[in-house]
Amino acid sequence: MATNYTFILFPTKSPDIKTIYEIVTNGSQVIHRKSLGIRILEKNWDKIKKRVKQKEPNSNEINKTLREKEQKFQFENPKSTKLNTDESCALQYMEKELERGYQDGTKKVSTYNKYKTVLSTLRKVVIERFGTKYLPFSKLRDLNTIREITIGLKRGYGKSGKPKSPTVIFNYLSILKSFIDHWNKFSGTQSPVNTTSFFNFTQRTQVKKLAPSISRDQIKELEEYVPIKRRKRCYTSQNLAKDIFLFQYYSAGIRLIDAVTLTNSMIMVDKLIIPIRKTSDVLSVPFYFPMIQVLKDYFPDQYDQAINDVKLGNVILDARSIQQLFRIDGIDFQNLNLELLTDVIKQVANQQSHYELTTYLKDTQNRLEDQIIRYFFKLVKDLPTQFLFPMLNYDDFKDSLENGKDFSQEQEYQIHRARTRHNSALKRVSETMGIPTLTGHVPRHTLANHMAYSGNSEEEIRQVLGHSNIRTTKIYLRERHGFSGSYGIMKRFHEEKK
């Protein structure tokens, strides 16, 4: 049964004068009653609204006191009150709905933690700008309140103390707006809060930043990057960060969380089936030979076995390719492994007369690499279930992964710490290489960028990145390529002029 907080009048020695009491009830049982020391004329009391009428002297001050008393009780007793009145605290309502979403599983732990940070910041803003812990829904109808909240959000409340960017302020207000819209819909209020005014004081025109991305040449440089061996721990962390970065790029630009929680049980015959934690969907990614180059340090025995055991004799070749191979004398193609075949290609490529043969040899090399990578991933799949990258401890995540559960707060915290370490290592890599700062999300933007310049459509890029809505893909591309289609249209225009 819900606890109720209200006000009632008690008699005094004078028949027309009453004293206002606060009273807390649980059903029909009174569990608290206390005089507020406020005396009024009984005829000036509104029994329905539980407020003093304007005829009473100092009515505004008295009603303000009563309103603050209600807000304080609601703030301190969130589980026992219904937060559906205009004078209820919007931040308390936000917290209650957030907790409910977390408990019933409609809010993921990562979203829950992000919204808790937003809520904490909003509370600091309200205390600083209004001198109170409470933010009534009725107050949000005042444009000046929205202005003060926007100004307060510009301040930095984190460890760095840096002011928040317009984008961050917009995101914070958007999250607040979503909860107020929820209250408008389900509270039964006759006067909903106009949430479209929440963005009246945010900066609308900003200098567009290019989405973080690196070039194809820088990808090649990164593939060849070797950290300086000054400190073993630093060397290891940079190598791991570089390998995960490249694997993300090769694997359809998967998010960092999906890369570090990828297990060998997700390996199929010729592809990886990667669960996307953010959308609860799955992504099918074909094997690509550079993948095993970044995994070889973590599965060295399987790598050596695949490289040495798979010979050219295991590869099915067409008659024309076999005919071309027999043009080279003194080579046992049946027992040729990848290393020896690579040497043969180098020798033949130096002879200009063997251009056609070189082409066939490179095609044969691709087929051999395809067999090697399939065999390598089969060997890795046969191992006990484990993460492909040693960023996290599989046993700590075993229950969630094997039973399809959302990650717990402790698991999300471990991922957060892993992400922090990963980005720190990538920052050192980018500083050493002299390229733009790398993060765990750069492979995703980089792949989108490269695919766009290669002529892939927005829908194709959306499918590869696993976006649930093409609007997200358009944002990715517009940040770097301008409005949709402009690049392709102008390119065709200039080619027609030649």
Check the CA dihedral 187-190-193-194 and report its sign: positive
Segment 443-456, tens digit of pLDDT: 999 998 888 888 88
Q: What is the pLDDT of residue 312?
A: 83
The residue type found at 429 is: V
446 vs 213: CA distance, rounded Å: 4
For 289, 302, 357, 420, the CA distances from 371, given in Å and listed in that order, are 10, 14, 21, 37
Domain regions of the chain by residue span: 3-76, 90-199, 228-481
Helices (H), 202-349: 216-224, 232-250, 256-260, 290-295, 300-309, 319-325, 338-349
Predicted local confidence at residue 347, as pLDDT: 78
Architecture of domain 228-481: Orthogonal Bundle (1.10)
Look at residue 94 in the predicted model and tell me its pLDDT.
Answer: 93
Instruction: For the chain, list residues with pLDDT below 70.
Output: 1-2, 75, 78-84, 156-161, 204-211, 230-232, 352-354, 478-498
* Closest among 171, 81, 196, 177 to 117, alpha carbons compared: 171
Q: Which residues pair with 282 in a beta bridge?
A: 275
pLDDT in tens, 9-57: 999 999 899 999 999 988 788 889 999 999 999 999 998 888 999 999 9
- For residue 205, the model assigns a pLDDT of 59
Q: Which of these, 433, 93, 354, 387, lies nearest to 263 by C-alpha position?
A: 387
Q: Output the pTM of the full model.
A: 0.72
How far is the C-alpha of 138 from the C-alpha of 87, rounded, in Å? 6
Rounded Cα gap, residues 249 and 233, in angstroms: 25
DSSP notation for 335-384: G--HHHHHHHHHHHHT-GGGHHHHHHHHHHHHHHHHHHHHHHHHHHHTSP
DSSP for 106-127, please give it. Answer: SS-HHHHHHHHHHHHHHHHHHH
Which residue in this structure is represented by tokens 């109808």? Answer: 141
